[in-house]
Structure 1
């Protein structure tokens, strides 16, 4: 067994590589900036507009593919075309090559943003009709479609998209990183007002889900949703970070009617709406197939903050 991993130096990709090596699985890394003289199998990741032959070259002699490379939604200057090229067209090119000559599976790291926007309240599962609300989400959904089209047109059904909620861990970015910075202060915060509940997933747990999909027996579904076992409130997320930093809780309630106009004045209304929503992911399909989710999100978030503080010392 030999697995090609794209985006292998990224936030989740590096942990996927670690999981594979711990399982004694051979790995080939496809990187945009490969290190010269590396002791393991590293190849140059082609651009989205590279000829098909370039993708056939990097998928030669591997049995499976994990596609982690892409453009994340924390790039404020990225255009819709940037997202489509990085998340949809690159995926299409890679999937065509994999469907043509890779005997095993392709796992594509997608996002719940391919299904819905950050202000949606409700439960997210594999049967939810996709309705992405942002350029990033639309590009991830188109990446899913183009990957599956490449495989079905070749008569194959061994490709799947793994949709992830916000991911926490060392090196995380986006809204969770903002919340952790807010928590790292002695000042009281109006976080008790934030009644929204969210499903999250640790980066290590996401990597284990990838390994599970690569190695489990039986057919694959086109889409899987992964998350930690239990959702957590925004207020509890901030409390967990503060515990990890060794800071007092100091959360107080402020009427939402006061917070909304303040957020609007600061140009953060969308951010506020996202924090106020309740999004619960249902990972029961993966669990029924033998995958084990993280069960203590609060303590894992606290560890992330504690480790962040230790690295600064």
Structure 2
């Protein structure tokens, strides 16, 4: 039987590729929503306008069985809002819960929510990894909003019986990626020496293709119901090793200078770049054992293949 699936945020980095992958499979009838009507998508794309607590989802929800909610106000590098938490809550909390309530009323069976590892926290200490069972400890406005959305969804589960699956990915990379990963790629492309050769942290990432594979697994897997899963490639890299792997994937030499981490931390503090230093110098490790054990899922791509796919079509991000 063909499963009807609705993907919100179908024009976004994750949503657009997810829609394309689902459309290739005969077992799914895929629809997508975006803020505005876009052409060229392999789905029925419905414009819903801005996502918030007042969005009318009725047209998009008609006949749907599964929702994959990828639409969100994402982590913003240069935040301009006077009250960032209020803005994140408006979209990520009120918008998500409004959709979930309308979905349950429309007879949707399963709601897959793309959350964030930021719900767990910003950093792991040596010898510790984040798990799906950890007590949430979000620090920034984005992570707080995702945690509050998760809590609201779990309440809706208790009230309505609609199944909810929560997926928390770390940094996602793939063709067309933006943000911090794209900035790093640009530095590698320029061939400039980078003072990160002595960084021995450990960070988990997830290739876009691996994340999409996990999401699709969660669409109809019986054991996924009302569970939280963490996503990653299953291999953790130091910042210096990641830069070398990116260089290999791009066919570019990488020049790394062995500047001690404490000196870099001091310089970042002086320049007001403590958050950036935390990402470059700190560790954030994710344990995907639950997804392996409960779902029988393993990342289909290695880190090297995931990075290679970032640069198949062009060398710029």
TM-score by length of 1: 0.91
Report deviation, 1:163: 0.3
Q: Take 2:62 and 2:149, find their aligned partners in 1: how far apart are those partners? A: 22
Alignment partner of 1:291 is 2:297: yes
Q: Take 2:35 and 2:13, find their aligned partners in 1: how far apart are those partners? A: 15
Q: Take 1:23 and 1:295, find their aligned partners in 2: how far apart are those partners? A: 19
* SS of residue matched to 2:275: helix
Report deviation, 1:49: 4.5
Q: Take 2:261 and 2:53, find their aligned partners in 1: how far apart are those partners? A: 50
Alignment partner of 1:166 is 2:196: no
CA contact 2:111–2:164 (8 Å) conserved in 1: yes
In the TM superposition, what are the counterparts of 1:118-137 in structure 2 within 5 Å? 118=123, 122-137=128-143
CA contact 2:52–2:95 (8 Å) conserved in 1: yes
* Counterpart residue number, 1:7: 9
Alignment partner of 1:34 is 2:14: no
* Counterpart residue number, 2:146: 140
Q: Take 1:234 and 1:182, find their aligned partners in 2: how far apart are those partners? A: 13
Report deviation, 1:51: 4.3
CA contact 1:241–1:305 (8 Å) conserved in 2: no
* SS of residue matched to 2:272: coil
Count of residues in Structure 1 that have an aligned counterpart in Structure 2: 309
* SS of residue matched to 2:160: coil
Of residues 97, 100, 103 in structure 2, which corresponds to 1:98? Answer: 103
Of residues 212, 234, 240 in structure 2, which corresponds to 1:235? Answer: 240
Q: Which deviates further from its counterpart, 123-132 or 248-257?
A: 248-257
CA contact 1:7–1:69 (8 Å) conserved in 2: yes
CA contact 1:241–1:304 (8 Å) conserved in 2: no
Unaligned 5+ runs, structure 1: none
Q: Which deviates further from its counterpart, 294-303 or 175-184?
A: 294-303
Q: What value does the CA root-mean-square deviation take over the aligned residues?
A: 2.3
In the TM superposition, what are the counterparts of 1:188-267 in structure 2 within 5 Å? 188-267=193-272
Q: Which deviates further from its counterpart, 128-137 or 274-283?
A: 274-283
Report deviation, 1:164: 0.3
Unaligned 5+ runs, structure 2: none
Q: Take 1:90 and 1:105, find their aligned partners in 2: how far apart are those partners? A: 17
* SS of residue matched to 2:68: strand
CA contact 1:46–1:55 (8 Å) conserved in 2: no
* SS of residue matched to 1:12: helix
Q: Take 1:172 and 1:3, find their aligned partners in 2: how far apart are those partners? A: 24
